[in-house]
Amino acid sequence: MKGYLCLQDGTTFEGKASPSFDQSVQGEIVFFTGMTGYQEVLTDPSYKGQIVVFTYPLIGNYGINEEDGESQEIQVSGVVMYQCAETPSHFQTKKSLGTYLDEQNIPYMTDADTREVTKAIRVEGTQQAALSLEPNYRFKPTETHQIQQVSGHEIHTFGGGDVHVALIDFGWKKSILNALLERGVQVSVLPFSKIEMLDTLQPDAIVLSNGPGDPKDTVDVLPLLKKALEKFPSFGICMGHQVIALAFGGDTTKLTFGHRGANHPVKDVVSGKVFLSSQNHNYVVKEDSLNGTPLVTRFYNVNDGSIEGLMHDSKLIMSAQFHPEAHPGPKDAEWLFDHFLTLVKNKGVKTHVS
């Protein structure tokens, strides 16, 4: 059965529709360049509502396991691949990728020229697209405020230890929670809509999670968030990084096609070292918008010079646009968790700026 990937600019690509493909789906189309990590991508709340194009030709060769999901369900709206492995091979495999997608009614298309699709996105930019059984798709108004679709409603506490961290939920990944728990930290996951509960929780520090969509969707909570940032040691990751910038008067803008992959080089201006990072974002902090704010740049993207992390000039506030917890991707930046928690335990005796 034929399937079609229709871009909003009028470009159409033909492929083979999946067995579960019974109705069209629309979403923002993005591409992921990693060779592995498809299960983490599919279940990452930051991809909520998006159609993901995997650039690597063979996806699904090690199947789906019970450990690598970043949330309880698939978050993407659709998937485009050149080839989806029908017979995976791995000792942890529980099912094939195709079966996994079919079970959750996520349409996908194979036999698509994913390299040409990626080139189209790079030239024309990220845009609305649709997976359809017909080549002519009529686009609908786009959905916004994806953060509200993935953020929880209740406070949940995990682990135990001498340090208590509140994980502000904009659409958190399981791997961020695990990275904290592995370091002996007690973690309370707090929905971003309940930031006022920080005064009741009284954590030792807060971590602002990743999340989907436009960081400016958090505008209603920015005043409360700024008060919290000025009170508690804070570490923002991806969406959390962008929200920290907005809270202190910075601005964000949308990239042409975003950063999504497992090999993005980042430079630390403090150490002078370059390391590889895992990334997934459409928006970046505008550097000139930081003038007059207490935030300074800590990390840069080597490829395009965009800001990859910030630090406050006097308070223990730091951020990373990339994912130090990785999953998927290299763990070159995992040291940031240890660095932040060490500073928290030192109670500001040593500043992270020096």
CA-to-CA separations, 183 to 56, 73, 105, 153, 204, in angstroms, rounded? 34, 26, 37, 26, 14
Active-site annotation holder among 28, 40, 164, 238:
238
Residue 84: active-site member? no
Active-site annotation holder among 40, 70, 308, 325:
325
Q: What SS3 class is residue 193?
A: helix
Cα–Cα distance measured from residue 317 to residue 71, given in angstroms and rounded to the nearest whole number: 27
Active-site annotation holder among 259, 264, 323, 327:
323
CA-to-CA separations, 205 to 137, 166, 231, 299, 309, in angstroms, rounded? 48, 6, 9, 22, 18
Phi, then psi, of 150 in degrees rounded to 5 = -115, -20
* Contacts with 168 (C-beta within 8 Å, 6 or more apart), sequence order: 190, 192, 195, 206, 207, 208, 209, 240
Residue 238: active-site member? yes
Closest C-alpha among 186, 149, 196 to residue 170: 149
Residue 325: active-site member? yes
Residues assigned a catalytic role: 238, 323, 325
